[in-house]
């Protein structure tokens, strides 16, 4: 099937290669949802590839005003106007001379310019010109036939609410339906897109985040758990922490390609332990990425140097990367996709997210949070990336709780860090709750963090220390 590439970041991926050529598509959404920018971005991208587009407005908005607004976006190119991107007014003819004359005028424009793409913005305004549904339906059928005869890919833009998409006649004849909408989610005003229909073509269903920025539209595909059973080659290699006693407790280290949760209260050393895991890897010639939502890259570099871990040369040669995103700016829909995009593009063997508790704070519901982590975990396992997620346990002296969101289900291994009280002294203990497919030490061990690094000490020998 011949497809029209949209050229919008990640949209062609969602569409399985693009929009089927010569299809009739409706772009719906409330005012301000981004419909016009969405379509303009597509026609300018295609203009650069030599395709001609005819953009017809049905309202009295000044085309000069529209162009002035588009000049803010990188996709806009003044040199394409009039040659590859042609603006026209259809609304005046429709209002003054009726639907029949409006169609004749449209045919005249198509014959004159021979466009590959035609946009009518907005169809909803045309609907309001008709006295009844029957007359409008007849107009829409004629419109669809016209585009089909001339082999044109069409976009009909309209200010439709979601409840109208299933009952209005224009949606019955559409080959494709893009619905754009926004909603308040946590502290973000977010924009989403759903492809409700794409006749004759497969596409990724569900809501996909999109953003409007200086580049135009950028889409972040919905991250979802795979429905099929996870199939991947199980490797038996081990990834060490480089802490002899801990590696011994793990029978030689973490199994390659597994997911490990490090759970603990604030100050227990989750970040340091995860950073040590990556530092051990880069010393062995492996590539690692530390994704931090809590400490900046400079802070982490300082911490590593303080512990005697010379990370600078590995950061300089790109073997180790530390990415920091402020929790204030964290948008899990966007950043979860970017995390996987980064892992796909690089031969990463060790990967850390510190912490996934920050993910939870930016997601509207716990189920969505778990779905994101499950999907990320699946993708990382498929690529045999040995991964650590740190998670904050807010109760300093809690029993052996990993997290209140039941995250242990996504992990192959679970390491807990917690405080205990001993004769009015607060000590730290470490334990391995789970190591799937591997023997592990079941004891609780004291540990300390010093200027020389992490030292694992003796077994916890007093049961009453766990209060």
Please give the structure tokens belonging to residue 201. 């073509």
pLDDT at 376: 86
Please give the structure tokens belonging to residue 139. 């107009």
Distances (CA, A) of 89 to 58, 102, 229, 426: 6, 10, 53, 76
- Asked whether residue 186 falls in the same domain as residue 331, the answer is no
The pLDDT of residue 404 is above 60: no
Sign, CA dihedral 349-350-355-360, equals positive
Answer whether residue 233 is part of any domain. no
Q: Which of 223, 241, 238, 242 is nearest to 368 (CA)?
A: 223
Most confident of 266-275, 391-400, 417-426, 457-466: 266-275
Burial of 13 (0-12, 13-18, 19+ CB in 10 A): middle
- Asked whether residue 286 falls in the same domain as residue 166, the answer is no
Distance CA(46)–CA(27), nearest Å, equals 17
- Asked whether residue 212 falls in the same domain as residue 264, the answer is no
Over the stretch 192-205, which tens digit does the pLDDT of each residue have?
A: 999 999 998 899 98
Which one of 192, 219, 246 terminates a domain?
Answer: 219
At 467, the pLDDT band (50, 70, 90 cuts) reads: low
216-220/238-239 β-pairing: unpaired
The pLDDT of residue 150 is above 60: yes
- Asked whether residue 211 falls in the same domain as residue 285, the answer is no
Q: What angle do CA 371, 259, 448 make, to 5 degrees?
A: 125
Q: What is the mean pLDDT of the chain?
A: 87
* pTM for this entry: 0.74
Answer whether residue 268 is part of any domain. yes
At 94, the pLDDT band (50, 70, 90 cuts) reads: confident
Which one of 188, 219, 250 terminates a domain?
Answer: 219
Answer whether residue 229 is part of any domain. no
Over the stretch 229-278, which tens digit does the pLDDT of each residue have?
A: 555 566 679 999 999 999 999 999 999 999 999 999 889 999 999 999 99
- Asked whether residue 19 falls in the same domain as residue 93, the answer is yes
Distance CA(374)–CA(225), nearest Å, equals 6
What residues pair up with 459 in beta bridges, in sequence order?
A: 445
- Asked whether residue 261 falls in the same domain as residue 328, the answer is yes
Answer whether residue 107 is part of any domain. yes
Burial of 444 (0-12, 13-18, 19+ CB in 10 A): buried
At 8, the pLDDT band (50, 70, 90 cuts) reads: very high
Answer whether residue 228 is part of any domain. no
Please give the structure tokens belonging to residue 427. 């000590």
Which one of 185, 219, 253 terminates a domain?
Answer: 219
Q: Which of 179, 168, 175, 69 is nearest to 126 (CA)?
A: 168
Distance of CA 165 to the CA centre of its chain: 26
The pLDDT of residue 390 is above 90: yes
With beta carbons less than 8 A apart as the criterion, state whether 155 and 25 touch. Answer: yes
Answer whether residue 464 is part of any domain. no
Burial of 398 (0-12, 13-18, 19+ CB in 10 A): middle
What is the total count of domains within the chain? 2
Tell me what percent of the residues of the chain surpass a pLDDT of 70: 90
- Asked whether residue 417 falls in the same domain as residue 363, the answer is yes
The pLDDT of residue 329 is above 80: no
Distances (CA, A) of 380 to 114, 232, 275, 375, 403: 48, 11, 18, 9, 21
- Asked whether residue 284 falls in the same domain as residue 418, the answer is yes
Q: Which of 226, 197, 223 is nearest to 209 (CA)?
A: 223
Helix or strand (DSSP H, E) at 314: helix 312-316
The pLDDT of residue 110 is above 70: yes
Q: Which of 336, 406, 408, 407 is nearest to 375 (CA)?
A: 336
With beta carbons less than 8 A apart as the criterion, state whether 320 and 352 touch. Answer: no
Q: Which of 320, 329, 396 is nearest to 358 (CA)?
A: 329
Answer whether residue 230 is part of any domain. no
pLDDT at 189: 77
End-to-end Cα separation, the chain, in angstroms: 66
With beta carbons less than 8 A apart as the criterion, state whether 26 and 171 touch. Answer: yes
Answer whether residue 467 is part of any domain. no
CATH of the domain at 270: 3.40.50.300
- Asked whether residue 331 falls in the same domain as residue 184, the answer is no
Distance CA(396)–CA(265), nearest Å, equals 5
Output 463 or 289, whichever has higher pLDDT. 289
At 327, the pLDDT band (50, 70, 90 cuts) reads: confident
- Range(s) of the domain holding residue 308: 238-459
- Asked whether residue 145 falls in the same domain as residue 242, the answer is no
- Asked whether residue 131 falls in the same domain as residue 68, the answer is yes
- Asked whether residue 294 falls in the same domain as residue 393, the answer is yes
Give the SS3 label for residue 394: coil
Over the stretch 35-71, which tens digit does the pLDDT of each residue have?
A: 999 999 999 999 999 999 999 998 756 677 788 889 9
Please give the structure tokens belonging to residue 448. 């300390």
The residue whose two tokens read 């029949």 is: 100
């Amino acid at each position: 099937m011949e497809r029209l590439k949209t050229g919008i970041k990640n949209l062609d991926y969602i569409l399985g290669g693009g929009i089927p050529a010569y299809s009739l598509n409706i772009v719906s959404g409330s005012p301000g949802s981004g419909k016009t920018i969405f379509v303009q971005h597509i026609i300018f991208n295609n203009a650069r590839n030599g395709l001609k587009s005819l953009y017809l407005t049905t309202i009295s908005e000044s085309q000069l005003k529209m162009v002035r607004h588009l000049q803010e976006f990188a996709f806009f190119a003044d040199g394409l106007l009039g040659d590859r991107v042609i603006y026209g007014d259809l609304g005046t003819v429709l209002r003054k001379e009726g639907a029949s004359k409006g169609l004749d005028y449209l045919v005249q424009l198509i014959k004159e310019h021979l466009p590959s793409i035609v946009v009518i913005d907005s169809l909803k305004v045309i609907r309001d010109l008709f006295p009844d549904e029957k007359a409008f339906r007849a107009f829409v059928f004629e419109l669809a036939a016209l585009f089909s005869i001339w082999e044109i890919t069409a976009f009909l833009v309209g200010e439709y609410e979601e409840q109208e998409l299933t009952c209005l006649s224009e949606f019955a004849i559409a080959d494709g339906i893009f619905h754009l909408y926004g909603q308040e989610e946590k502290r973000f005003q977010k924009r989403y897109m759903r492809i409700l229909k794409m006749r004759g073509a497969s596409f990724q269903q569900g809501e996909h985040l999109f953003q409007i920025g200086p580049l135009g539209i950028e889409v972040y595909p919905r991250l979802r758990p795979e429905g099929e059973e996870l199939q991947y080659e199980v490797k038996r290699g081990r990834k060490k922490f480089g802490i002899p006693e801990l590696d011994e407790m793990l029978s030689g280290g973490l199994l390659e390609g597994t997911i490990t949760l490090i759970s603990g209260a604030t100050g227990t050393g989750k970040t340091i332990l995860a950073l040590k895991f990556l530092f051990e890897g880069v010393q062995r010639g492996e590539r690692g990425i530390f994704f931090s939502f809590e400490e900046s890259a400079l802070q982490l570099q300082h911490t590593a140097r303080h512990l005697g871990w010379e990370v600078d040369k590995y950061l300089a040669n790109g073997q180790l990367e530390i990415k920091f995103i402020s929790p204030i700016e964290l948008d899990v829909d966007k950043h979860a996709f970017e995390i996987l995009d980064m892992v796909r593009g690089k031969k990463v063997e060790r990967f850390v997210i510190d912490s996934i508790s920050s993910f939870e704070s930016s997601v509207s519901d716990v189920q969505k949070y778990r779905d994101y982590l499950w999907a990320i975990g699946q993708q990382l396992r498929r690529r045999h990336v040995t991964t650590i997620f740190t998670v904050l346990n807010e109760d300093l002296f809690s029993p052996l709780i990993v997290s209140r969101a039941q995250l242990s289900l996504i992990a192959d291994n679970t390491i807990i860090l917690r405080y205990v009280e001993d004769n009015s002294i607060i000590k730290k203990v470490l334990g391995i709750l789970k190591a799937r497919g591997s023997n592990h030490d079941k004891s609780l061990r004291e540990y300390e963090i010093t200027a020389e690094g992490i030292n694992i000490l003796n077994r916890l020998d007093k049961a009453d220390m766990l209060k």
